[in-house]
Amino acid sequence: MSKTVDVTVPDIGDFADVPVIEILVSKGEQVAVEQSLLTLESDKATIEIPSPVAGEVVELVVEVGSTVSEGSLIARIKASEEAGETTTSGPPGQTASATDTAPENSDHAGSGEAAVTSASAGPQSAAGGGQTEETPAAPAARETGGHEFDVLVLGSGPGGYTAAFRAADLGLKVALVERYPTLGGVCLNVGCIPSKTLLHTAQIIDEAAAMSRHGVQFGDPRIDLVKLGAFKDDVVGKLTGGLARMADMRKVEVIQGNGMFAGPHEVSVEHQGKTRTVGFGQAIIAVGSQSFELPGLPWGDPRLMDSTDALKLEEIPPRLLVIGGGIIGLEMACVYAALGSKVTVVELAKQLMPGADPDLLRPLQKRISKRYENIYLETRVTQVDVADDALVARFEGKDAPASDSFDRILVAVGRVPNGNRIAAEAAGVKVTDRGFIEVDNQMRTNMPHIFAIGDVIGQPMLAHKATHEGKVAAEVCAGEKSAFEARVIPSVAYTDPEVAWVGLTETEARQAGVKYEVGKLPWVASARALGIDRPEGFTKLLFDPETKRVLGAGIVGPHAGDLISEVALAIEMGCEAADIGLTIHPHPTLSESIAMAAEAFEGTITDLYQPKKKNRKA
């Protein structure tokens, strides 16, 4: 006999008295399990409430404009016979209806909140009906062996929280151990997110100044450092708060404290003098990396900063020295130069950002050479002396003076993995002398039930690599046959102009003797680039001359970091030049430059004149 189920609002986080903005079903309608019944909209998020059962809607208790909170009755549904007496919940996480954007990939402030809504339609939707039974979602190959948790994730950066959430969505009981009070790791708290927030501010300052060329004059910016810092902290808070709520909704137990392995199935977590031993069936190590502290420098002096210190924005130093012309050094140089510091950059290698092709760096170098006091290549800092009113750096290099004085110094010479800080040997996990942990393509360490992901397994140390690895590890923990099989991982420096590259670089191709041909679109031929007054950029694609498949790309110019994804997809899909060139790109956009670069390779381009292009098509 079928029975009528009271459908109530499930756990929707901190939201209360949320208005119903849309009713998606009508009385008498047959609905499926997890079919959305209605939409709620708070000032922060849009939330769809799914049906916990299949059956007929016999009554809708609310209407558009009604306000509801967790537990409010919204509808009555007569469960269908097929559904049986017991209703089932769908696989947790499959019903995500709102934006399911990973926080670190989003630069709009509310994304953390929006992400919460997708979670709310996940496992909690089962509880919404009040009469459903919990059903494990995945045929998990559990190795709990009676341990407290199926999976323990050590570290809550983008890799760690993604792994924890994915594992929970697959029905596993998960603990997420984090030494700091907020989730999100370096990326959200003291890395990608705060730096990109400040880089946006820097961009607006620079663009406002550039408007004078267009006949629009703004006054000099007046910078309230406290307010700027508060905005940045607010962005971080929204995202990390969103993570905490999503962990809660997924029933992931967050354990604060410093975790160290105590055995093959145990981590001891120390927090404020107390130690808790946590047992696990499987573990995922996601402990990341930390800034490399150049030895011999006066690290006790607060004017000597690493990237975390620099993001605190304690002051705008009149003269700033940046040691290390890599991505972190150049991004922070960009921020401080826009805020008013006179910046000097010292780089050990022959070029800035040594991983990128030299031609990609040229527009950036040209722009910052005019804006920064000095850029010293092939130069090292041998010593920093502390004076009352300055830090005095001594240089060794071809163009640098013997020494110079600075108000602050930022050291950004790379990061070192944290593999040696977790007593991995207690679990039998091998760690290299440099602190890396080796894994296979399923992210398994030498101990088959322990996985590692993110910075701790090696370069490139990038959040977007870690998140993908986190999903693989979680899925393998749940018994799925996942593997990390990405062909390429894009790199982006969010400098001005942005520099982005993916796949094979020209430097790598030459070193490896790989045959390639270039299709290039200088942005001086892009209407959009001219309109935004940034014709210095370019888009180049590398193709296999035989198969015409795209092998790699480099883009320099505003939004290069957003544009590069198209080429990453093209490489993953094995696209040929014609696939890209014949895809209609909207005009006028910077994205057209990718299609045009493919056309330039094909010889079909009309927006450039290429008299000697041998393979120009008739």
What amino acid positions are annotated as catalytic residues? 587
Strands 342-346 and 319-323, by their bridges, are parallel
User: Considering only 45-53, 83-91, 197-205, 348-356, which stretch makes contact with ligand NAD by CB under 6 A?
Assistant: 348-356
Nearest to 347 by CA among 359, 355, 339: 355
Q: What does the block give as tokens for 373? A: 């006091």
Q: Is 440 helix (H, G, I), strand (E, B) or coil?
A: coil
For residue 346, state whether it binds ligand NAD (rule: CB under 6 A). Answer: yes
User: Considering only 44-52, 143-151, 325-333, 387-395, which stretch makes contact with ligand NAD by CB under 6 A?
Assistant: 325-333
Q: Which is nearer to ligand NAD, 336 or 494 (CB)?
A: 494
**C-alpha distances out from residue 68 to 23, 135, 248, 285, Å:** 13, 27, 21, 41
Q: Which is nearer to ligand NAD, 327 or 575 (CB)?
A: 327
Cis amide prior to 295 (ω within 30 degrees)? no
C-beta of 490: minimal distance to ligand NAD in Å?
A: 9
- How many CA atoms does the CB half-sphere of 260 hold within 13 Å? 11
Q: For ligand NAD, which residue of 44, 232, 250, 415 counts as binding (CB under 6 A)?
A: 415
User: Considering only 5-13, 69-77, 322-330, 508-516, which stretch makes contact with ligand NAD by CB under 6 A?
Assistant: 322-330
H/E stretch holding 167 reads helix 158-169
Degrees to nearest 5, angle at CA 482 with 287 and 119: 70
Q: What does the block give as tokens for 258? A: 């410093």
Nearest to 426 by CA among 286, 267, 282, 283: 267
Q: Which of residues 419-478 bind ligand NAD (CB under 6 A)?
A: 460-462
For residue 347, state whether it binds ligand NAD (rule: CB under 6 A). Answer: yes
Measured between alpha carbons, how far is 556 from 596 in angstroms, rounded to an integer? Answer: 15
Q: For ligand NAD, which residue of 317, 324, 435, 454 counts as binding (CB under 6 A)?
A: 324
For residue 285, state whether it binds ligand NAD (rule: CB under 6 A). Answer: no
Q: What is the DSSP letter of 576?
A: B
3-class SS shares of the chain: helix, strand, coil, % to 5: 30, 25, 45
Q: Which is nearer to ligand NAD, 361 or 462 (CB)?
A: 462
Between helix 327-339 and helix 192-210 the angle, nearest 10°, is: 50
Specify burial of residue 250 (Cβ count, 10 A radius: 0-12, 13-18, 19+).
buried
For residue 348, state whether it binds ligand NAD (rule: CB under 6 A). Answer: yes
C-beta of 345: minimal distance to ligand NAD in Å?
A: 9
For residue 259, state whether it binds ligand NAD (rule: CB under 6 A). Answer: no
Q: For ligand NAD, which residue of 10, 93, 329, 470 counts as binding (CB under 6 A)?
A: 329
C-beta of 459: minimal distance to ligand NAD in Å?
A: 6
User: Considering only 36-44, 82-90, 153-161, 347-355, which stretch makes contact with ligand NAD by CB under 6 A?
Assistant: 347-355
Q: For ligand NAD, which residue of 492, 551, 580, 594 counts as binding (CB under 6 A)?
A: 492
C-beta of 411: minimal distance to ligand NAD in Å?
A: 8
Residues that bind ligand NAD (CB under 6 A): 294, 323-329, 346-349, 354, 380-381, 412-415, 460-462, 492-494
